[in-house]
Structure 1
Amino acid sequence: MFCCFGSGRCICVGKKDTTAFYDTCDFSLSKLKYTAFYDVLFKECKLTGTDFSSCNLFSSFRFGQCQMRYVNFRRMKMIKTSFTMCDMAGADFANANLQGSFFGQCDLSGAMYS
């Protein structure tokens, strides 16, 4: 996977079996307005302060060993999303649908849920 970030855009090239895979990419403070994601794995990525709340599609997400402090998932439909060993302190899950989601060994201190 090759990721190039600049001018507020991210261009990612390379998929395997329709699954997008982001490995050690830095999305910190990104506003992902009008962005569509489907079947995505983020591994060891920096997502600090990233705003996912305006994404058009948010389905089949997995996060592993990511820095996700103050990430915004407000009002997102995040059914069966997997978070493993992520630093999610201060994350905003207000009014998000987390049905069937998994949080394994994550730091959720100060996270907001309502």
Structure 2
Amino acid sequence: MTKNLKVDLPKIHPDLEEARFRNIYMEEDPYLQECAITGDFVENEDVEKLILSKVTFNNATIMDSSFYKVDMTDVIFENCDLSNTNFKEGILYRILFKDCKLMGLDLELANLRHVTFENCKLDMSEFVEADLKPVLFENSSLKSANFYDTKLNKVKFNQCNLEDVDFTETNLNGIDISTCKFEHINVDIKSLKGCIVSSEQAIGFSTLLGLKVKE
């Protein structure tokens, strides 16, 4: 159950030195630690096994880039645009995305531990076969997001837009979507078992069971 979900926030020292994202190329391995990046612009980068530790990104744009197998610990993204960025097979631990544009973000096969998405735009994002525990989606848009065969353990969707989200082959037992809005989502009956929904949502899901609701 996710009623009292506890998601740890990033642990970062308040006084960080300013840096540029391109500082990753100054080391033998792509690596950034204990620094603050503000207003940076990155596009069409391709960096494998990038390591980020205790880093804050504010008003940064990192678009159409690939960071395959990224390893992030204690990182904050605030007011950032990471549209169409690839974090496939990445490890994300104690990460906060706040007020970010994350359309088309690719987290396929990624491991997310203690990750918070707050007031974010995650439309068309990919979580295929990812492993999430615990993760909070707060007041965020996930229209047409793909959670196919995703492991959701201690995951909460609060006041989110789940229109046309794909939960096929994803176990929703204990997952609470009762405060979310949608007219249609893709889900199979087996996956829906144990999902926590509102009474209004339950009427809509009854069609999956072949029921006809009499007014």
Partners of 1:72 and 1:88 lie apart in 2 by: 10
Identity among equivalent pairs (%): 20
Q: What is the TM-score of this pair, normalised by structure 2?
A: 0.46
Output one character per residue of 1:1-49: Cα deviation in whole Å (capped at 9) or x when no partner: 426423424787636xx63111011110122234331111100011000
- The equivalent position to 2:157 in structure 1, one of 83, 94, 105, is 83
Matched, 1:49 2:124: yes
Partners of 1:49 and 1:103 lie apart in 2 by: 18
Aligned residues: CA RMSD? 2.3
Return 5+ residue gaps in structure 2 as ranges. 1-55, 77-92, 189-215
- The equivalent position to 1:96 in structure 2, one of 170, 192, 200, is 170
Larger RCO (CA under 8 A, 6+ residues apart): 1
**Partner of residue 36, structure 1:** 111
Return 5+ residue gaps in structure 1 as ranges. none
Partner AA of 1:40 in structure 2: V
Output one character per residue of 1:62-113: Cα deviation in whole Å (capped at 9) or x when no partner: 1010011001001111133111110110000011012211124211321011
8 Å contact from structure 1 (residues 80, 99) kept in 2:
no
**Partner of residue 133, structure 2:** 59
Give aligned pairs, total. Answer: 111
SS at match of 1:14: strand
Greater percentage in helix: 2
8 Å contact from structure 1 (residues 80, 102) kept in 2:
no
